[in-house]
Every structure is written in C-alpha cells, then in structure tokens.
Amino acid sequence: MIVNDERKFAFIEVPKTGTSTIAKCLLQIDPGCRRNRLIGLDGRAVEVPVHATVSDVRRLLGSDAEQYTFVAFLRDPVEVMVSKYHFYRTGRAAQRSASERGDIGRKMRVAFARSLPIVAWCALYPFKSSAHFVLDEGTLAVDLLGDFADIQTEVVRIFGRFGYEADQLALTFENRTGYSRPSSPVYRWLQIIASIKLRQDFQLYEAARNKSRASLPANN
C-alpha cells in the first residue's frame, strides 16, 4: 500500500498485478509517497501490510478516507493463477525457499507447486481473490482501476491525474518469472477453474478493462 497525503491518493497493491514495479516507480519519483504506513486518526503512524485491503486502509483513515482517490490494478484471473503457479515453481518464492532455512509454509507451497501439473494445482490451491483487496462489504471501494495487460499506458493514464509527467512514470520491470503461456487445451481448463473459483474477479477485471467504476454484489 502506498499513500500520498499531498496528492491525496492511496494505491492498493493487489498481488500479482505489477504492484512492486509501480510502487518502486512512485517511491523513486516522489518523496511524498509513503509505503506500508498510514497516519491514523490519533495522529500516530500505523504500519500496514504491503497487500493491505482497501477496506483496511479506509477504516484506518476514517473520515479522512473521503479526501483520497483509491487506485488499484487488476489482471486476467487466469493469468494470475498461471503467474502464481510459476512464482512457486521457479520464481522468487522458489528462490527464497532454496536459500532460507525457515519459512516452512513457503517451502511447502513450493513443493506443492512442483509436485503437480498446472491444472491440478490451480484446481486445488486456495486462491485469495483480487476482489478481497478492492471490495468493501461487497461494493467496489476503489475509484480508479487499471488493467495490468496495458500496465505502462494505464500507469500514465491513472497517475498522470495526480500531476506526474509521463516520462516520470516509465516503469522498470524486475524479478519477472519466465514461463511460457499454457497450450490452448490447458488454458481452456484454467478458464473453467477460474470461472468457478474466481467468478467475481472476472467481473472486476471487466470493469478494469472498461475503465469504469462498478458496484458488485458480495460473494455468496
């Protein structure tokens, strides 16, 4: 989570949507950007997780939340599943797991991904949906949604509203996990799995693609 009290925006970092890259850019170009720390209602600094939800951030800001524009990026749910699978098999999670003695949970997740083909893993893995990060009591609580598929253009479109120039917002991509797109038959199976497990995320992503604001019902 990044907040800028002068420009009045809060960036909600939805996992697997390029948030580290965007956050790095904002922190480099603007010392007024603050990551993982809010000023609470009592005036004290409050530490918050990188992937704090919009509902958590709004609650901590209290009535001041209405002064901020909330921003988040979303990604095709199938691509999120594929990215997470390879993140555990060969990406940063796997690399950290190999170099660390602790974090048994991460080691187990890495071993689980490496033990299964992607379709079986996606069917079994308990994904936390993107909706969890951007909904508040079933309603979209983010003002501006960006589409990960066109991340550079979208970053300029969205953050340009807060006074940044396009050349300032040039992104530098690091720590990408290299992998190939699944074959068409595999991809179709993943679409079926995602449509069942991440139904609401599809609705939200369509809202991001349409550059619109939406109000969605809570999951049943």
User: Does 192 lie in the same domain as 119?
Assistant: yes
Is residue 40 assigned to a domain?
yes
User: Does 71 lie in the same domain as 8?
Assistant: yes
| Distances, alpha carbon 143 to alpha carbons 171, 178, 214, in Å | 22, 32, 9
Is residue 190 assigned to a domain?
yes
Is residue 149 assigned to a domain?
yes
- Map residue 160 onto helix, strand or coil: helix
Closest CA to 13 of 65, 56, 51, 47: 51
User: Does 186 lie in the same domain as 101?
Assistant: yes
- Map residue 48 onto helix, strand or coil: coil
What are 34-81's pLDDT values in tens digits?
Answer: 999 998 777 788 899 999 999 999 999 989 999 999 999 999 999 999
User: Does 197 lie in the same domain as 135?
Assistant: no
The structure's pTM equals 0.87
User: Does 103 lie in the same domain as 62?
Assistant: no
Stretch (H or E) spanning 43: none
Looking at residue 208, its pLDDT comes to: 82
User: Does 124 lie in the same domain as 194?
Assistant: yes
Residue 41, both tokens: 């209602």
**Structural domain of 23:** 2-75+130-176
- DSSP secondary-structure letter at 117? -
Q: How many domains does the chain have?
A: 2
User: Does 114 lie in the same domain as 19?
Assistant: no
Would you tell me how many other CB atoms lie within 10 Å of the CB of residue 127? 17
User: Does 14 lie in the same domain as 62?
Assistant: yes
What are 141-198's pLDDT values in tens digits?
Answer: 999 999 999 999 999 999 999 999 999 999 987 666 778 889 999 999 999 999 999 9
State how beta strands 9-12 and 69-74 pair. parallel
Is residue 160 assigned to a domain?
yes
User: Does 188 lie in the same domain as 118?
Assistant: yes
Residue 125, both tokens: 């893995």
User: Does 36 lie in the same domain as 58?
Assistant: yes
Q: Is the dihedral of CA 144, 149, 152, 157 positive or negative?
A: negative
Looking at residue 213, its pLDDT comes to: 44
Share above pLDDT 70 across residues of the chain, in percent, rounded to a whole number: 93
Is residue 12 assigned to a domain?
yes
User: Does 106 lie in the same domain as 52?
Assistant: no
User: Does 91 lie in the same domain as 119?
Assistant: yes
What are 160-173's pLDDT values in tens digits?
Answer: 999 999 999 999 87
| Type of residue at 98 | A
**Residue 37 and residue 35: Cα distance in Å, rounded?**
6
Instruction: Give the position of tokens 């990960």.
Output: 148
